[in-house]
């Protein structure tokens, strides 16, 4: 398998520990395969009553998917996303309780393996974001489902801007269920492994009142300025507002892929209408297959992750260059023989 994911049974708990500290535990296809295999093995094992997901060492939980290679290899990208989304769906439908410890950087793919968990733990180290608009990708791994279910229009705001949240803000928005000091996690994990039937009580007892959530001070502005269905209308609302905060959001959006911003906005809107997570993953895989064939993904990865000049040249360069027909094509379903399928199908 791979030593980049450590899988073990600890007491009555199955442990999934991400182990790529130099890459902030960014996910690869072998890591997804290893986690799927462990989860499938534990599903029928009566000795395993709970699953704990964390990282072995280093400063982050999971920085996302390892996309540098994928940007230049469409075949590898399709294979990775297909396997990653199967892992996301498996966690979402898993019968045994899952606890994800989001202690540190939690972005992209890290969101995909933490948000399906019944219990999602924030700490003082938590840094959450879905920053894909900056690399020409989109808020995948179930982002259309999770972001669309946040209060008001926080989902649109986070998807478009890639804004970063701390642990307190994650709890305030419902992204995380508990706020627990990082120093208390080792003893807490041991207690859960010894008594999984009390996992809810143990987490409640360990949780403390989080600090004030700064994002809530912007709730009125986000609700008012990110409500439109059309990306151009959101930009116009921000431009007309004239506040320092609105101008800062405009500057941020000016650096993002216009194509990706329109994709993310539609994904959040569509996500509100879905009732089956498998349908979400099927739709997102279709979007992924189309997006990775377009120039912005390779260009965004080049500019932000390879050359690091932070000067992507987007194509189209402006929102009005991204036509409705282009977005409809990106969202067009794949043929049956190409479409994403859950495990066992």
pLDDT at 100 over 60: yes
Partner residues linked to 10 by β-bridges = 13
pLDDT mean over 293-305 = 95
**Of residues 54, 83, 140, 280, which has the active-site annotation?**
140
Residue 11 has which token pair? Answer: 């007491």
For residue 58, the model assigns a pLDDT of 79
Do residues 141 and 80 touch, judged by C-beta distance below 8 A? no
State residue 69's pLDDT score.
82
Average pLDDT over residues 28-43: 96
Active-site option among 54, 66, 83, 132? 132
Catalytic one among 11, 14, 64, 65?
65
Which value, to the nearest 10 degrees, does the dihedral of the CA atoms of residues 24, 253, 121, 93 take?
-90
CB 10 within 8 A of CB 193: yes
Q: Which of 60, 109, 112, 136 is catalytic?
A: 109
For the question of residue 45 being annotated catalytic, the response is no
Degrees, nearest 5: CA angle 262-120-165 = 50
Among 36, 50, 6, 340, which residue's Cα sits nearest to residue 195?
A: 50
Q: Which helix (H) or strand (E) holds 147?
A: helix 143-148
User: CB-based contacts of 120: which residues, under 8 Å, 6+ apart?
Assistant: 99, 100, 102, 114, 170, 175, 176, 177, 178
Check residue 227 and give its pLDDT. 97
Mean pLDDT across the stretch 58-83?
91
Q: What is the mean pLDDT of residues 299-305?
A: 95
pLDDT tens sequence across 145-176: 999 999 999 999 999 999 999 999 999 999 99
How many Å apart are CA 126 and CA 182, to the nearest integer? Answer: 10
**Mean pLDDT of all residues in 98-126:** 97
Number of domains in the chain: 1
- Annotated active-site residue 166? The verdict is no
Band of pLDDT at residue 338, cut at 50, 70 and 90: very high
Can you say whether residue 290 is alpha, beta or left, with left for phi > 0 and alpha for psi between -120 and 50 degrees? alpha
pLDDT, the chain, mean: 96
Domain ranges, residue 345:
1-345
What pLDDT, on the 0 to 100 scale, is given for residue 1? 57
- Separation between Cα atoms, residue 100 and residue 244, nearest integer Å: 36
Question: Does the pTM of the predicted model rise above 0.85?
Answer: yes
CA angle 272, 344, 40 (to 5 degrees): 95
Q: Is 142 a catalytic residue?
A: no
Alpha-carbon distance of 315 to 305, in angstroms, equals 18
pLDDT digits (tens, 9 = 90+) for 134-144: 999 999 999 99
Q: Tell me if residue 244 is catalytic.
A: no
pLDDT, mean of residues 273-278: 97
For residue 36, the tally of other CB atoms under 10 A from its CB is 17
Q: Find the CATH number of the domain harbouring 120.
A: 3.90.226.10
- Residue 345 clears pLDDT 70, i.e. is over it: no
């Amino acid at each position: 398998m791979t030593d980049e994911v450590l899988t073990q049974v600890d007491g009555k708990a199955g442990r999934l520990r991400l182990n790529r500290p130099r890459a902030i535990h960014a996910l690869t296809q072998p890591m997804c395969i290893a986690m799927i295999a462990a989860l499938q093995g534990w599903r029928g094992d009566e000795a395993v009553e709970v699953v704990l997901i964390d990282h072995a060492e280093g400063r982050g939980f999971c920085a996302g998917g390892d996309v540098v290679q994928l940007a230049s290899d469409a075949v590898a990208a399709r294979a990775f996303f297909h396997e990653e989304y199967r892992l996301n769906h498996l966690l979402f439908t898993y019968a045994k309780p899952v606890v994800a410890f989001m202690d540190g950087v939690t972005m992209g793919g890290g969101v995909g393996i933490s948000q399906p968990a019944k219990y999602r733990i924030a700490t003082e180290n938590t840094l959450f974001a879905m920053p894909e608009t900056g690399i020409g990708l989109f808020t995948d791994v179930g982002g259309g489902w999770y972001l669309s279910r946040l209060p008001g229009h926080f989902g649109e705001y986070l998807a478009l801007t890639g804004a970063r949240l701390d642990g307190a803000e994650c709890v305030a928005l419902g992204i995380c269920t508990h706020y627990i000091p990082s120093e208390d996690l080792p003893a807490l994990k041991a207690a859960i492994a010894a008594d999984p039937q009390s996992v809810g009580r143990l987490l409640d007892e360990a949780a403390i009142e989080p600090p004030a959530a700064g994002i809530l001070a912007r709730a009125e502005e986000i609700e008012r300025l990110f409500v439109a269905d059309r990306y151009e209308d959101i930009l116009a609302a921000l431009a007309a507002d004239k506040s320092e905060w609105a101008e800062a959001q405009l500057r941020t959006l000016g650096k993002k892929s216009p194509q990706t911003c329109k994709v993310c906005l539609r994904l959040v809107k569509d996500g509100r209408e879905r009732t089956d997570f498998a349908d979400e993953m099927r739709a997102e895989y279709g979007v992924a297959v189309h997006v990775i064939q377009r120039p912005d993904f390779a260009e965004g990865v080049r500019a932000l992750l390879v050359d690091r000049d932070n000067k992507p040249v987007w194509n189209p360069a402006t929102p009005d260059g991204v036509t409705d027909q282009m977005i409809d094509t990106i969202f067009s379903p794949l043929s049956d023989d190409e479409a994403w399928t859950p495990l066992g199908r």
